[in-house]
Structure 1
Amino acid sequence: MRPLHRAPEPDVLKGLLESARLAPGERNGIMARAGGLLADLRAAQNDGWVNQFLQEYRLNSSEGVALLSLAEAFLRVPDPETADALIADKLGDANWRAHAGKSNSKLVNSATWGLVVGRALVSDSGSAGVLKRLISRAGEPFVRQAVGAAMKMMGEIFVMGRNIGEATKRMRKPEHKGFTASFDMLGEAARTFPDAERYFQSYAQAIAEVGESATAGHSISVKLSALHPRYEVAQWDRSVSALTEMLEALAVSAAHNGIALTVDAEESERLEMSLEIIGKIAALPALKGWDGFGMAVQAYSKRARPVIGWANELGRIMNVRLVKGAYWDSEIKRTQEQGLSDYPLFTRKAATDVSYLACAKDMLAAPNIFPAFASHNALTVATILEWAGPRRDFEFQRLHGMGEGLYERLVREDGYHCRIYAPVGGHRDLLAYLVRRLLENGANSSFVHQLADEHLSDEDLLADPVEKIAKVGGTRHPSIPLPIDLFGPERRNSAGIDLQDREILADVVRGVSKPPFVPSEVEGRGASDERVSTALDTNGAIGRAHAAFPAWSATPVEERAACLDRLADLLEDQRAELMAIAVHEAKKTVSDALGEVREAVDFCRYYAARAREGLQPIELPGPTGERNVMRMEGKGVWATIAPWNFPLAIFLGQTVAALVTGNTVVAKPAPQTPAIAGWAVGLAHEAGIPEDALILLPGGPEVGAAIVGDPRIMGVAFTGSTATARRIARSLLEDESRPLVPLIAETGGINAMIVDSTALPEQVVQDVVTSAFRSAGQRCSALRVLLLQEEIAESTLEMLSGAMEALVVGDPADPRTDVGPVIDETAHARLMTYRESRKAHWIKSLDVPMEGLFVPPTAIRLGDLSELTQEWFGPILHVCTWKAGELEATIAAINAKGYGLTMGLHSRIARNADTVEALARAGNLYVNRSMIGAIVGSQPFGGEGLSGTGPKAGGPHYLYRFCAERVTSTDTTSAGGNATLLSLDDVGI
């Protein structure tokens, strides 16, 4: 099945289309069945206030989105002030009045009028002022209480019960007569080992309690990612063995209690891990004779059909739940971000339907599979009924709160079996689950959404997916480009490596095990083999670059850009060597080394594209008889001085920007990382950049000072510390006879992340760990201070401590490593001294290997933001709190530090994001995501204040700073008059 994982969509669909195609005569019977199912569904939509409420506020309306957003966040907000702000934010902009009186349900209309009134109460010029005054007068927060009650009611729609006892009791209600349940303990991915242990205990307890009423036929669904916080391919040995042991215990208990247990589907990158675990459990002698073990298969996966075949060959009866898929949008985004060759899933909804039908046919024919078909699609259900004929040895499944009406007649009159997938847990815990399920089933292409669209006919709803896909030849959705084409015709995206593929990861690890140079070769001179120029005196190097400038500057911009494109290709060709150097010389982890090469490639292609477009002569307007032309040309010799933390990407980014604009360059790498710079310069020369146009000058601060002090240097691009940037700036101004030389400086920052009480804690913790500790905290953009709203501080820190505990600190060449060593002994000593000085205020600190330059990832509590006066460039995170209602003051305190590189915000209140965006003095603001990993061309990077001069690297204005702007104005009437004006024809006469 592995070759299918990222195979082209038409190739995968070719075989599926034939299997899913209807035989002659089947279509009429299927349409008749589907028509009846549609009628049942429509009748159910008008039955009961819940269905009518959901129909009235669909996800294609701003009101539906507002309600979903409110439900996602409201119940976890502990403080009234933020709760009021959230209500104002979500209710204030929607047009609730447009829904007033439209529903057949009095309860829905009453709820709508409540929302109309609520909007009036909160829409005081975009604030919660009226709401506050009303609450003050009334003496109790009745609006807040009403919203809270409504949100809990919404929670009950989609969650079967707050605990397993409540859920089993609810399943005995008349509306569930004839149905069974598969209870899911609402286990989203665990972030900590204590979280995983709690989920395990909840599963174990549920199995025991459901087992007591085994005659009801209920089952349990288990999510493996809820049982281990590091369920990742890089942590294969660590997680698979632990998960196998836990799943064995649960399966043995389920068998003992006589109930079924199904392993839920996960993201595609975990499929092979899941199969290994499931295969081991299926083979256990202790489970022989128990037919209750099962697994879920996602039809949107290109590997779905082979997985069905694999399950059939396990040598036992397997319950297989076939679903359409739960992670479609995130899988698409992740594939694009990682620059992989193709998607692991189908990009068209109809293609997923085709895959589903082909898999269903295989399941019905498989002797060792008990099929379970999870669907809300009337055509899919009707097709399966047609293919199954008189059989009843299978079941349907639907989500609790959705698809009501589809199966009731089939179950109660026709003898079919249907199981309800029923989430169990506190309503606060339903957050991510609720959002994902609603978005999934509310997407424009989904059957549930289309059913509510009055503009679609039954013929549209029941169109054959096989014919749809055959008509387009199985091609990918035109609005979802392959990752390589993400940036359109302007440039190719950098190619990634699928580090979630175990075989590929093993090859990469072998490739980075040794650097392609002998360390002794680079000591003292910063050179690696013949690729690096021998050590040159600064004066001679600048002289060569100065002499080479006229010819290189006169080279057409298209030729210069072509050199950059060739360099990008060479970087990708020698990616393995470059990654190996990055791992051993710069102490980067495998994933960071890959990101380093990709960013360098992106810089080359982006600047080549921008040069072709932006460096052409521009005709400027003016009076008739005059021609005005602006040209962008090189200034002369530029010095590019790079840091050790991005020794390839920043080194090359600065350098190729100067080169493509027509300048020659002397490039000085950091003294800690000369080898990778040397390799890159060798490739640049191979790509066609003349050796005298780009000269490598390795060395320490004295070399940098000599370069900057030379009057022939016409510009400096520097990335490093603020103190060094100041010294460079002073040096450039010291010689009064020297021209005013531009300085592009990117320096560090005291980068802050603000978190309010509406934020999702699991997401916050994941992004904090990534932002603060990845790359051992040695990124300019890394998170340095976390500002938590007081009401959520302790619970968030408890989760953060657990997530830190799950980190692996060690050898960067080991793919299991999350945090490697810091760059050198000087950095290590400085960080360790500071860390020890703050020991009384540690929140959490990890143990690290004794050998090596490892700084333990450490979280340190601050009494106040004023205690942090400088940047600490390592895996050290500072934490302090802020009070509700003091967001603007908190932003002001951050701004007062004088730095302005990156800032983060986690909030579900859009107006809070607007406030931070308006007031923050930071070059890059990241909302509800991590603060590292800026993408060239998408997130131009650079700061202000003490954090840099601009313009932003990887942005549309960067190249212009390297240019001299020159304008030529010509009087075209000076020789023979204005021929253009004199030759004008009369118009309109």
Structure 2
Amino acid sequence: MAYRTENPATGVVEQEFTSATDAEIARAVERADAAFTSWRATPVEQRAKALSAVADAYETRGDELARVISTEMGKPFKQAQGEVALSSAIYRWYAEHGPALMEEETLDVGDSAKSVVVTEPVGVLVGVMPWNFPQYQVARFAAPNLMLGNTVLLKHASICARTGELIEEILHAAGIPEDAYINLFASTDQITDIIADPRVRGVSLTGSEGAGKAVAVTAAQNLKKSVLELGGSDPLIVLDDVDVAKTAKTVATTRMRNAGQACNSPKRILVPSSMVDEFVAKVVETVEGMKVGDPLAEDTRIGPLSSTEGRDDAVAQVQRAVEQGATLHTGGKALEQDGAWMSPAVLTGVTREMDAYKEEIFGPVAVVYSYDSVDEAVEIANDSDFGLSGSVWSADAAKAEEVARRLEVGMTYVNEHGTTMPGLPFGGVRRSGYGRELGRWGFDEFSNTKLVRVAG
């Protein structure tokens, strides 16, 4: 596994990084384990102060961090700025709310004994993080666990090595001890060994289903807690009372954000048969009007995909759908230039027999389905192995909420899709993974909820 920055806009390798040796990995585990004793004993207020300083640094260095994201994985600069701002907000949320969430709770169980619940850290944790939101996804794992007093070993995606270095640099400068958060340029085999180490207490992975399975197996074999945030094929249901043009434009924009490379992007768009032609026409118009270009340019709406391999996979999925009978309205081709470029696509006519019906398309591809009744729409929406999030769009919010509650997902929305805030839980069901991050739920996964009971 080579850690390097290969600019997906140009195909040029701009920086290479040295992978960790087995000895360096062993030393890192030893350091993190030793640091746990002192870090957990550090006053909660001091840990909160450090996280607040991290948030301040993200605000001060926002453009720098965003520029690195754009260079490493191709996200348009404005979107990268938004990701950095959200990451800052996550660190600040835990700095402000963490101390209260960790306060002891006295239980009234109807007897004379004293019953208290305390929240304690568990030890060394491993984070395996992806490239598509390289700052945000680290923040939602690291912030609550550092606040708790856990120590962290972090393996970032190989194409986001510079971001990994910057995160470590900022955390240490803010007051997180060097051995309480360690960035590792580790291999897959080395991560397997780390998870198996008895000094490591848990692992959190955001990534592919294959990587999640491998981590889950290793964790289970060693009786370790794991949290997995995997793929998604989110349904987005449009009801028949919407403003078609406005909704179609919003939905198309949402689907194409980050070049469609988001687990919780609306990958299956369900529209009433009576309005599907008008809706598709507006989606096509919107997509064709989006500038595909240099991610650092102000007016770019869609950048390159993160890699040529990812681009080729997405193009192949579109081609296979067409070969199996789907209709391609625009795009779906690899652009003939250096870098990982693809023209954004719109597909219709995907049926249950086609590969595209079940698989996740991780690229700038909007797939629109038609339905004849709300019950049919819900049936199609729930006919998936995934269950990350979903949404319903309507002029009648109450009616939309009724439908949204029928979706078998971990997060459901009305008249928005994929909204993420520091205080909201994030996670899915089925093959989208298990466990929750963010908000008070982010404290639950890797903490010891300890009962202390004192009889008189």
Fold shared per TM-score above 0.5 = yes
Residue among 371, 374, 395 paired with 1:882: 371
The aligned counterpart of 1:785 is 268
Q: Which residue of 2 aligns with 1:620?
A: 107
Q: 1:838 to 1:866 in 2, by over 3 A?
A: closer
Matched, 1:770 2:264: no
Matched, 1:843 2:329: yes
What CA deviation, in whole Å up to 9, does each residue of 1:160-191 have, x standing for no partner? xxxxxxxxxxxxxxxxxxxxxxxxxxxxxxxx
* Counterpart in the other structure of 2:298: 815
Task: Tell me which of 958, 962, 976 is aligned to 2:446.
Answer: 962
Aligned equivalent of 2:3: none
Deviations 1:678-721 (A, max 9, x none): 10111101111111111111234233323223232101111111
Q: Does 1:947 align with 2:432?
A: yes
| CA distance in 2: counterparts of 1:778 and 1:869, whole angstroms | 17
- Are residues 834 and 918 of structure 1, via their aligned partners in 2, closer, same or farther at CA, if it must alter by over 3 Å? closer
Q: 1:588 is paired with a residue of what secondary structure?
A: coil
Deviations, residues 365-401 of structure 1 (Å, cap 9, x unaligned): xxxxxxxxxxxxxxxxxxxxxxxxxxxxxxxxxxxxx
CA-based RMSD: 2.2
After TM superposition, where is structure 1 displaced by more than 6 Å over at least 4 residues in a row? Answer: none
1:963 deviation in Å?
0.6
- The 1:897–1:853 alpha-carbon spacing in structure 2 relative to 1, beyond 3 Å, is same
Asked if the contact 2:249–2:282 (Cα under 8 Å) also holds between the matched residues in 1, the reply is no
Instruction: Give yes or no for the alignment of 1:653 onto 2:137.
Output: no
State how far apart, in whole Å, the 2-side matches of 1:933 and 1:584 are: 25
Q: Which has the larger radius of gyration?
A: 1
CA 1:785–1:536: 2 relative to 1, 3 Å: farther
Pairing partner for 2:182 from 671, 677, 695? 695
Determine the C-alpha separation between the residues in 2 that align with 1:920 and 1:853: 34
2: CA distance between counterparts of 1:862 and 1:856?
20
**Aligned mates of 1:620, 1:838 — CA distance in 2:** 57
Q: Which runs of 5+ in 1 are unaligned?
A: 1-512, 527-533, 973-989
> 2:391–2:404: 8 Å Cα contact kept in structure 1?
no
**Cα 1:896–1:796, aligned 2, differ >3 Å: closer, same or farther?**
closer
Letter of the aligned partner of 1:789 in structure 2?
A: P
Identify which of 192, 208, 213 aligns with 1:726. Answer: 213
- Say which structure, 1 or 2, has more relative contact order (CA 8 Å, 6+ apart): 2
Determine the structure 2 residue equivalent to 1:347.
none
Amino acid at match of 1:893: I
The question of whether the paired residues in 2 share the 8 Å contact of 1:625 and 1:971 is answered with yes
Identify the structure with the greater helix proportion: 1
CA contact (8 A) 2:253 2:286 kept: no
Q: 1:907 Cα deviation (Å)? A: 1.9
| Contact 1:522-1:675 at 8 Å conserved across structures | no
Deviation per CA, 1:751-796, whole angstroms, max 9, x where unpaired?
A: 1111122111122212222221111001111111111110001111
Deviations 1:841-872, CA, capped at 9 Å, x for gaps: 20222775623211211111234255311111
Separation in structure 2 between the aligned mates of residue 562 and residue 866 of structure 1, nearest angstrom: 55
Q: Which has the higher strand share?
A: 2
CA 1:818–1:536: 2 relative to 1, 3 Å: farther
> Against the structure 1 CA distance between its residues 969 and 959, is the aligned structure 2 distance closer, same or farther, given a 3 Å change threshold?
same
Instruction: Letter of the 1:694 partner, please give it.
Output: Y
1:820 shift after superposition: 0.5
User: In the alignment, is the contact (CA less than 8 A) between 1:865 and 1:880 conserved in 2?
Assistant: no
* Residues 305 and 340, structure 2, Cα contact 8 Å, conserved in 1: yes
Partner of residue 155, structure 2: 668
Structure 1's 863 and 663: CA in aligned 2 closer, same or farther, altered over 3 A?
closer
Match of 1:917 among 400, 404, 417: 404
Whole-angstrom distance in 2 between the partners of 1:854 and 1:795: 28
SS of equivalent residue, structure 2 residue 237: strand
**Equivalent residues of 2:315, 2:332 under 8 A apart:** no
Distance 2:381 2:194 in 1: 35
Aligned residue pair count: 440
CA deviations 1:412-453 (Å, max 9, x no partner) are xxxxxxxxxxxxxxxxxxxxxxxxxxxxxxxxxxxxxxxxxx
Match of 1:78 in 2: none
SS of 2:330 mapped into structure 1? strand
The TM-score with structure 2 as length reference comes to 0.91
Deviation at 1:535, TM superposition (A): 9.3
The amino acid of 2:284's aligned partner reads: S
SS at match of 1:958: helix
| Cα 1:625–1:925 shift into 2, 3 Å | closer
SS in 2 for 1:726: helix
Cα displacement (A) at 1:672: 1.1
Matched, 1:829 2:307: no
Distance between the aligned counterparts of 1:828 and 1:583, measured in 2?
A: 16
| CA displacement at 1:637 relative to structure 2 | 0.4
Percent identity between matched residues is 27
